């Protein structure tokens, strides 16, 4: 059965937003994809969605598309998906998201449904519902519907997807729009507060575990202990794998009052992940000292291929932080990303930091014959080749 017949607005020219928008467009619905940076909506037709597999290819090719103002797209939509890119961090992140959410809902029509796709922390959905009612003068559940569907990389492997709604309200049309025959993931409607807390539990469980691994592996200075640890799954756990949820952790932290075990878990996880960058720099220093290399005669190449359009900006932020901290020690630093990795000849010794498994494999396969550089895996033990 087709999911067509409803007009849909997706707020956010993000990877996740485009993925949802293109999937719905192909199923037959009229879709407007809102670019929040220029405050315009583009009409996403099925042929365009099939032609461009991701938002990067769409932006790079810049095809001619029909445009309309945000308010027109939202006022005509039966479903409004909120999936913006978030680039601010720290105390400003919540106000930035709230500002965008106000922009997305102010022209909401009676009978429409809002699908919120960012994590909210504890109590965040109640704040969103109150904001909708204040901005529109309509009642959530009676005049408009609200759904909570936080997009997350670490929950994507689950066989079930929880969709939060007021009073566990079911929406078969929404289920058809979100159904993915490739994953066969089961969609389950639960109370919005239950879905909210379930995401908090998954986030804290996942990242407290990640932070524990990073902290414990620092203790494995002995090479024999390190090699034994790396026989497990830690060898393929790179900085790319552990940083995608910093936004979720910060949002949870900002939603908690005072101190307590939950706040300790949040702050400990954040510090463990951010502290890994310092540990990585320390390992570079130790490697140079061990090999009797001078910082002034060394160049660092950071190999980290990032999605510039994903909703969360955690990895982009951490890459900038890593680059800055390396430059404090070694002045010659450059970034490498994309399908190829090419090192240009230099009279300096090059240290390559591989920040993901894919980047590591790319570096090694392309340059293994070159003996003038050192490869360091940005994994828990910072293995050096």
Q: What is the pLDDT of residues 154-203, one digit of tens each?
A: 665 566 889 999 988 899 999 888 887 666 678 899 999 999 999 999 99
Confidence bin at 3 (pLDDT 50/70/90): very low
| Domain of residue 264, CATH code | 3.40.50.1400
> Tens digits of per-residue pLDDT, 214-226?
888 888 766 566 6
Q: Is the same domain home to 100 and 149? A: yes
Q: Is the same domain home to 327 and 259? A: yes
Range of the domain at 31: 7-189
The answer to whether position 384 is within a domain reads: no
Q: Is the same domain home to 125 and 259? A: no
Strand, helix or coil at 103? helix
| Domain of residue 35, CATH code | 3.40.50.720
Q: Is the same domain home to 143 and 99? A: yes
The answer to whether position 360 is within a domain reads: yes
Give the count of domains, the chain.
2
Strand, helix or coil at 231? coil
Maximum average pLDDT range among 109-123, 199-213, 236-250: 109-123
The model's pTM: 0.90
Strand, helix or coil at 237? coil
Q: Is the same domain home to 122 and 14? A: yes
Work out the angle at residue 277's Cα, subtended by the Cα atoms of residues 205 and 227, and round it to the nearest 5 degrees. 75
Q: Is the same domain home to 367 and 239? A: yes
CB 194 within 8 Å of CB 164: yes
DSSP assignment string, 256-287: S-S-SHHHHHHHHHHHHHHHHHHHHHHHHHHH
The b-or-e profile of 116-142 (16+ CB within 10 A means b, else e) is bbbbbbbebbeebbeebbeebeeebee
Q: Is the same domain home to 163 and 100? A: yes
The answer to whether position 172 is within a domain reads: yes
Its sign, for the CA torsion 286, 289, 290, 296, is positive
CB neighbour class for 2 (10 Å; exposed up to 12, middle 13-18, buried from 19) = exposed
Cα separation of 214 and 179, whole Å? 36
């Amino acid at each position: 059965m087709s999911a067509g017949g409803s007009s849909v607005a997706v707020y956010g020219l993000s990877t996740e937003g485009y993925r949802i928008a293109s999937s719905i467009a192909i199923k037959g619905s009229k879709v407007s994809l809102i670019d929040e940076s220029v405050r315009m909506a583009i009409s996403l037709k099925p042929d365009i969605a099939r032609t461009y597999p991701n938002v990067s290819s769409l932006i790079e090719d810049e095809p001619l598309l029909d445009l309309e103002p945000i308010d027109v797209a939202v006022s005509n939509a039966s479903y409004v998906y909120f999936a913006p890119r978030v680039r601010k961090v720290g105390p400003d992140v919540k106000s930035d998201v709230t500002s965008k959410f106000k922009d997305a809902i102010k022209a909401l029509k009676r009978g429409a449904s809002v699908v919120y796709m960012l994590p909210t922390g504890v109590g965040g959905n109640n704040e969103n519902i109150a904001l909708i009612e204040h901005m529109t003068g309509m009642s959530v559940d009676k005049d408009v519907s609200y759904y909570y569907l936080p997009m997350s990389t670490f929950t994507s492997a689950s066989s079930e997807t929880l969709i939060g709604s007021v009073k566990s309200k079911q929406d078969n049309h929404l289920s058809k729009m979100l159904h993915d025959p490739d994953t066969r993931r089961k969609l389950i409607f639960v109370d919005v507060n239950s879905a909210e807390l379930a995401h908090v539990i998954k986030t804290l469980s996942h990242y407290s575990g990640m932070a524990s691994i990073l902290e414990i592996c620092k203790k494995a200075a002995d090479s024999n202990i390190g090699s034994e640890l790396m026989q497990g799954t830690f060898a393929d756990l790179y900085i790319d794998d552990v940083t995608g949820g910093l936004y979720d952790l910060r949002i949870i932290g900002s939603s908690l009052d005072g101190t307590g075990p939950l706040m300790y878990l949040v702050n400990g996880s954040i510090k463990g992940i951010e502290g890994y960058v310092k540990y990585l720099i320390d390992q570079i220093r130790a490697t140079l000292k061990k090999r009797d290399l001078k910082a002034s005669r060394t160049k660092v190449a950071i190999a980290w291929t990032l999605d510039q359009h994903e909703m969360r900006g955690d990895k982009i932020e951490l890459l900038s932080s890593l680059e800055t901290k390396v430059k404090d020690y070694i002045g010659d630093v450059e970034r490498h990303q994309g399908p190829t990795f090419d090192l240009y000849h230099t009279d300096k010794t090059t240290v390559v930091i591989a920040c993901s498994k894919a980047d590591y494999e790319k570096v090694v396969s392309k340059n293994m014959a070159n003996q003038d550089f050192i490869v360091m895996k940005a994994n828990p033990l910072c293995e050096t080749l």
